[in-house]
A and B are shown apart, each in its own frame.
Chain A
Amino acid sequence: MTTAIPREARPYDDADISSLRFWSATAEQREEVFAELRAERPVSWHRPVHNGLFEDPNDQGFWAVVRHADVIEVTRRPADFVSGQGVVFESMPQELLDAGQGFIAMDPPRHTKVRRLLTAAFTPRQMARIDDHITGNAKRIVDDIADKGEVDFVRDVSALVPMHNICDMIGCPDEYRQTIAHEAQFAGGWRDPKLMQGAEPMTRLLQAAATVRVIADELIAERRRNPSDDLLSALVTAEVDGERLTDDEIASFFNLLMIAGNDTTRQSTSHGMKALSDFADQRAWLVEDLPGRLPGAVEEIVRWATPIMTFRRTAAHDCELGGQQITEGDKVVMFYASANWDTEVFDHPERLDLSRSPNPHLSFGGGGIHHCLGNQLARRQLVATFRELLTRLPDIEVDGEPTYGTGNFFHAVLSMTVRFTPRR
């Protein structure tokens, strides 16, 4: 075992995974750096992320965890690597953590109790029950573009599928959906200059939080008067340790569900469409038996997309990880995009292989208590969306290069033109 080096004296790794330049590069270019780290320095100490938008003078850096096995290990040691101090690279003010990250930035025992309030709505059984509904939303979205021949896929398909499904589940009426889906982007996207267009990040984040809060408060008050069978009603009537949740807590869960529910499946849908355009042979194989092959293909699309590229933990005490001595308070960041390309686990990860089986990708997390609550919902939405698209618009293709985000959290596609033969 190596001896612990205090944070301030610890040398930084030579590989650059902290700069805006790194996060502005393509996924393939980033993978070259990850491959080197996986092979030679699987747990390495790095400079704080720098994106020119939000700097914290007290931030001394982070450990990068890049191997598949190590990401799983961090995930499954929640007592050593805690979430309560934040789950993204940056040290966010506590008020924003509380307002925006809900139970994702919580530790047991409270996390376990709060998560159970919501879990019943996301089980495989419940998803099977609402599958017709998910299919209906996908159909409607494809109906709306079918006669157009050319659309921005992100705006008209990827963004709408999860927005309608998560809002249906939560119980958020149509009139607020576009506003919330738009504002939810800033929760991860404030790091992205292309999305921010000059807005000051903290100001814009607080503005987004305030806009969503006004809507959440109105809906919470309405459900307190008239509970129904949606998620928001479940939250207003639920008790944890004999106490009702406060409006602040419910609003925070509302925020988390909106962010996690909207911005993840959106990215997977876009990357999936791009991949199906780029790998014609794979697409041909898929459509030969769409119902039989789509569920497996969706796993590969989710691996390929890796919609969330990073999550952070904080060391609760001094401990060891991958031969490195970690000090209490160190930030430990898991790189899912790297884990999903680990050649120890995936044969030719650079190839889209829709028949890949088993496919132990970590896009929903490496197991453990924070494993993606919406994993079944995401899978069903992707199946429904690609089934509709490939059946009804069989020649749909991406036209030109998408515009990718430059953030370090969501693997964002900001816009992407698709063309197809219009259907009358």
Chain B
Amino acid sequence: MSRVVYIAANTFREAIRDRVLYNLIAFALLLSGAAILVGQISIDIERLVVVNLGLTAVSLFGVVITIFIGIGLVSKEMEKRTLYTVLSRPVRRWEFIVGKFLGLAGTLFVNTFFMAIGVFAALLYVSHKFHSADAWILVALFFIVLQFVILCSLTLLFSSFSSPLLSAVFAFSLFVIGSFAEDLRLFARMTRGLGLTHGLAATAAYLVPNFSALNVIGQVAHEQPISAHLIAYNTGYALVYSTMAICGAVLIFERRNLK
């Protein structure tokens, strides 16, 4: 277990060394600029804009970071030949994969934590005080982190067998498709009774990651509460889905010829 933690810590350190957290500067500029600008040119939507823009930016920045770091997790180590050094030590291949996953997830968690501070600071600037409904923003941020966890596992899965460019394409496509996952399941329900078409549609609808249920930005922007059931199911789903993708990555990587 300590080997997994060690690899995770190294992955985290490497990401920080790659100046990943520089995105926080762009994020801070975007959010403070929007907060000041909207306050001057609009009426009564300052809070709405800060929440919508803030959470959307957290999500998109995170998705971009996840994909661009995630796709190189395995291939970069192979290119630099560091993978062979790591695997020649008493480190199992599955430990390498799980460690990489935890390292990237940790990086994203820290990044999101700082961005969340930025969102709440901008919110305080425009509203002058916090309201109880603002607590739901924490839930939305938690769901965004869950999105990152799923996406991390998927990029790792793709990077375990594919080139970085293709992995990026696959991961980004799945992110877009997964954002319409609920519509996909609706279409699958509509094809009920169409035999093979329904079978294919239902399989696709259940296999793609469900990112749409994890997006509650609109709801929290309008101060609507999030049900405890949704929080529990989403948490369970993100953990189960990422476990599935990590297992897939482990199975592929175990068999991969690294010579």
A, B from the same assembly: no
Residue numbers of A with Cβ under 8 A of B are none
